[in-house]
């Protein structure tokens, strides 16, 4: 069975509250998913907060974006970021495999005999570490994040450290919203930045203002699409050059 996935594209939105600026984030997530970009979400809980109205949006964004959602306390953000990233990659591959199985034999993984299902799940687990991943972490930097921003920085650094040993290529960018000078979002760490500079880049995060989640998602989708198009164009130019040598 062939796997047609060349790259998993995912955006992980990390927020501690409900959006209050810039449109409907659920609609923005749906638009992203229509472009084969998966949106997953993490809702950061306060110690005295119940999983109620502000975090309904967290779930709804992920559902519209074809991803997963988790609720966590800030001290557990590092582990949650890592597990959510892995689940998104694995699920994207499983969906592609299920589609092929339906076309070939009329069944999906869950309808297969246990032994065959186990082999395919092992294949998915193995391939999850090989496939290229393009990931944007989109971090809420509104005023309510002031007391959480230090832990958020450390969690992102931990994520970078945990992903650097995977076999497949990783393209990672970090964005914050709202952005600097009144913008909806800012790029803190670009896909092409040197990883040694990431800690310095993360200290550019300055919590302030409202929560324009929809506009930030739209910006991140365009940013990711532009990077992937540029990368593919460069690969095409390289192949043409090699063909002439």
N-terminal to C-terminal alpha carbon distance within the chain: 35
Domains of the chain: 7-244 (3.40.50.410)
Residue-wise pLDDT tens digits, 34-47: 999 999 999 998 77
Residue 176 CB partners (closer than 8 Å, separation 6+): 138, 139, 140, 141, 185, 186, 188, 204, 205
pLDDT at residue 201, as a whole number: 78
**Average pLDDT of the chain?**
82
Query: How would residue 191 be classed by pLDDT, with cut points 50, 70 and 90?
Result: confident
- What is the tens place of the pLDDT at every residue in 167-180? 788 889 999 999 88
pLDDT tens-digit map of 62-73: 999 999 999 999
Bond prior to 74 in cis (omega within 30° of 0): no
Read off φ and ψ for residue 2, nearest 5 degrees: -90, 150
Exposed e or buried b per residue across 218-232, where buried means at least 16 C-beta atoms within 10 angstroms of its C-beta: bbbbebbbebbeebe
Report in angstroms the alpha-carbon separations of 83 from 7, 74, 90, 195, 217: 18, 15, 11, 21, 21
Confidence of residue 225 (pLDDT cuts 50, 70, 90): very high
Convert the pLDDT of each residue in 100-121 to its tens digit. Answer: 776 666 666 777 777 777 887 8
173 contact partners, CB below 8 Å, separation of at least 6? 135, 136, 137, 187, 189, 190, 191, 223, 224, 227
Q: Please state the pTM of the whole predicted model.
A: 0.85
């Amino acid at each position: 069975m062939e796997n047609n996935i060349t790259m998993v594209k995912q955006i992980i939105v990390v927020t501690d509250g409900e959006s209050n600026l810039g449109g409907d984030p659920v609609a923005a997530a749906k638009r992203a998913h229509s472009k084969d970009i998966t949106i997953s979400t993490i809702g950061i809980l306060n110690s005295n907060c119940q999983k109620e109205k502000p975090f309904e949006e967290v779930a709804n964004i992920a559902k519209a974006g074809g991803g997963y959602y988790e609720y966590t306390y800030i001290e557990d953000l590092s582990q949650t970021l890592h597990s959510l990233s892995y689940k998104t990659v694995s699920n994207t591959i499983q969906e592609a495999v299920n589609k092929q199985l339906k076309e070939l034999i009329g069944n999906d993984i869950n309808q297969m005999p246990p032994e065959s299902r186990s082999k395919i799940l092992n294949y998915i687990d193995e391939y999850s570490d090989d496939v290229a991943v393009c990931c944007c972490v989109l971090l809420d930097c509104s005023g309510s994040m002031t007391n959480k921003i230090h832990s958020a920085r450390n969690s992102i650094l931990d994520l970078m450290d945990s992903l650097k040993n995977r076999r497949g290529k990783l393209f990672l960018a970090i964005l914050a919203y709202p952005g600097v000078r009144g913008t909806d979002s800012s790029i803190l760490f670009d896909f092409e930045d040197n990883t040694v500079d990431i800690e310095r880049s993360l200290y550019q995060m300055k919590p302030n203002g409202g929560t324009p989640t929809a506009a930030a998602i739209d910006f991140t989708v365009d940013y990711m699409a532009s990077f992937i198009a540029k990368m593919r164009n460069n690969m095409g130019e390289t192949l043409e050059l090699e063909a002439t040598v």
